[in-house]
Copies of this chain bind each other. A is one copy, B any other.
Amino acid sequence: MLGELEQIVLLAVLRVGDAAYGVPVHDEIVRLAQRDLTLGTVYKTLSRLEEKGFVRSYEGDPTPQRGGRRTRCFAVTNTGRKSLESSLATLRRMAVGLDVGLEPT
């Protein structure tokens, strides 16, 4: 089962695409979810998602502008994507017929 924040973080990683490391993922969440999370929260969630096999991580290209260590980038795995789609599909199914702004096309 994916928690609510886990879903959001998975979506953010997908959105950021390449070089999805902590900072841009965090920024994307703040921007689109209006949620004032800490970086620590994002990293913690990413770690847990990795333990469950929903994302994998790899060393990012060392292209730091000014200070900063190497980045740890994340990508959603197939399993992660399946799980995310399943969660969203459930919500959509349950929203059918209600006017809650999530009706199917």
Contacts and interface: CB of A to CB of B under 8 A. Distances in A.
Contact of A101 (B7, B33, B85, B100): B85
A39 interface: no
A90 B3 contact: no
A90 B101 CA distance: 11
A94 B11 contact: yes
Which interface residue of A2, A3, A7 has the most chain B CB atoms within 10 A?
A7
Dominant secondary structure of chain A at its interface with chain B: helix
Contact of A90 (B2, B34, B85): B34
Contact of A8 (B88, B94, B100): B94
B101 A11 contact: no
A9 to B, nearest CB: 10
Interface of A: 1-4, 7-8, 11-12, 14-15, 32-35, 81, 84-85, 87-95, 97-98, 100-103, 105
12 contacts: A3-B3, A7-B91, A8-B90, A11-B95, A12-B94, A15-B94, A32-B93, A35-B90, A84-B100, A85-B100, A85-B101, A88-B101
